[in-house]
Amino acid sequence: MARTRPEPVQVVKQRRDAALNALVHGVPYVQFMGIEFERRGDELTAIMPFDEKLIGNPMLPALHGGAIAGFLETTAVIGLAWSVLWEEIETGVLDADELALGYLPRLPKTIDFNIDYLRSGLPRDAYARARVNRSGRRYASVHVEAWQDQRAKLFAQATGHFLMPARKDG
Amino acid sequence: MNPEKARMAEQFINAIPHCKALGMTLTDIGDGIAEMELPYDLRIVGDPETGVLHGGAVSALMDTCCGAAAMSHPSSPAGTATIDLRIDYMRAATPGQTVRTRAECYHITRSVAFVRATAMDDDTDRPVATATGAFTVEGKR
């Protein structure tokens, strides 16, 4: 029994990156904040490069708590949407080429979001990763960790609950 | 709150770069209560299909308003920083409408200010979001 030949690596990468790119760059607020995502396999790291407009306390200076909240919420929503998309792209339920053309699936809706500010946000780049702790048909729970210079020293963390978009199949 | 302190607080808040970038303004402040508004803006939309504002922009509005309420409390000597903030999103803000929020510092100790806030659009009967948070009380102890 002959196995189907695996696709060339660049084809797979190109498809996944195009899907992620469409997902991230389709949201005006994400663009406004300058947030980007880096992908390693299915793992995403969100990056918020420092910008003057993210400052909340010019005297210290420190990042605005609201900017940090927005960064973490974006990381959670994109991370959650991506985890669902990943499955659908890999199993062929969703066409990644259509996705890249802007036919985006509905994003999860935030029900609540709880942010802990552990230390003040320094005026430099920030990073965050989301972990989907529970992903059901209707509800999901996501935890986010954010850091700056040192991965082990979080400057903020958050937990949020999300309402999943209704699926086509049922 | 005396008018001088209120004017200073207003200047301070309206000069915050992130608030300026989002276009939010302080509309009222005094004795542990603050009101702010965020006009609708296409740049901060979270869902391009519906045009609904992103939760992050609403979070920034509520965080700032809660911080302002904490600072304006008679027992608060100076600045503040957010310890934690929980936001509940009740419904999507109607596209095109200004989001207004009112925050109240309902308890304050030497170290912590407890604040809650509600955000609305033109339909004031149904809140868009509520928030509760704890803020630091700086400069005393």
Q: Which residues contact B105 (CB under 8 A, 6 or more apart)?
A: B32, B33, B66, B69, B70, B72, B73, B76, B113, B114, B115, B135
Q: Do B83 and A116 touch (CB under 8 A)?
A: yes
Q: Which residue has the tokens 């972990």?
A: A131
The domain locations on chain B are: 3-136
Torsions phi, psi of A152, nearest 5?
-80, -15
List CB contacts (< 8 A) between A27 and chain B.
Answer: 45-48, 54
Distance of CA A156 to the CA centre of its chain: 16
Residues in chain B: 141
- In tens digits, chain A (170 residues) has pLDDT values of 567 888 888 888 888 888 888 889 989 999 999 999 999 989 999 999 999 999 998 888 999 999 999 999 999 999 999 999 888 887 777 777 777 776 777 889 999 999 999 999 999 999 999 999 999 999 999 999 999 999 999 999 999 999 998 876 54
Which A-chain residues 8-67 have CB contacts (< 8 A) with chain B?
26-33, 52-58, 62-67
What is the band of B40 on the pLDDT scale with cuts at 50, 70, 90? Answer: very high
How many Cα atoms are found within 13 Å in the side-chain-facing hemisphere of B26? 25
Q: Partners of B105 in the beta sheet?
A: B115
DSSP B45-104: EEETTTTEEPHHHHHHHHHHHHHHHHHHSTT--S---EEEEEEEE-SPPPTTSPEEEEEE
Q: Which residues contact A16 (CB under 8 A, 6 or more apart)?
A: A39, A89, A96
> pLDDT at position A170, please?
43
Assess if residue A1 is contained within a domain. Answer: no
- List Cα–Cα distances, A67 to A51, A144, B139, in angstroms: 11, 15, 25
Assess if residue A141 is contained within a domain. Answer: yes
* Average pLDDT in chain B: 92
CA dihedral B8, B10, B12, B15 (to 10 degrees): -140
CATH of the domain at A122: 3.10.129.10
Cα end-to-end distance, chain B, whole Å: 22
Q: Residue B126 in 3-state DSSP?
A: coil
Residue range B3-136 forms a domain whose CATH class is: alpha beta
Nearest-Cα distance to chain A for B120, in Å, is 16
Whether ipTM exceeds 0.90: yes
Assess if residue A168 is contained within a domain. Answer: no
Per-residue model confidence as pLDDT tens digits over B77-122: 778 899 999 999 999 999 999 999 999 999 999 999 999 999 999 9
CB A72 within 8 A of CB A128: yes
Chain A to chain B, count of Cβ pairs less than 8 Å apart?
Answer: 134
Please report, rounded to a whole number, the percentage of residues in chain B having pLDDT higher than 90.
77
By residue range, what is the domain housing residue A89? 9-163
Q: Residue A88 in 3-state DSSP?
A: helix
Assess if residue A50 is contained within a domain. Answer: yes
Assess if residue A170 is contained within a domain. Answer: no
Total structural domains within chain A: 1
> pLDDT at position A71, please?
98
Assess if residue A3 is contained within a domain. Answer: no
Assess if residue A78 is contained within a domain. Answer: yes
Q: Judge whether A159 is closer than 8 Å to chain B, CB to CB.
A: no
Instruction: Flag the least confident range among A10-14, A49-53, B33-37, B125-129.
Output: A10-14
Q: Do A112 and B44 touch (CB under 8 A)?
A: no
Q: Do B59 and A73 touch (CB under 8 A)?
A: yes
Q: Do A73 and B56 touch (CB under 8 A)?
A: yes
Torsions phi, psi of B72, nearest 5?
-80, -5
Which residue of A lies nearest to B47 if distances are taken between CA atoms?
A: A27
Per-residue model confidence as pLDDT tens digits over A105-127: 788 999 999 999 999 999 999 99
> pLDDT at position A13, please?
86
What is the band of B1 on the pLDDT scale with cuts at 50, 70, 90? Answer: low
What residues of chain B have any CB closer than 8 angstroms to a CB in chain A?
Answer: 15-22, 42-49, 53-57, 59-64, 67, 79, 81-89, 92
List CB contacts (< 8 A) between B89 and chain A.
Answer: 109-113
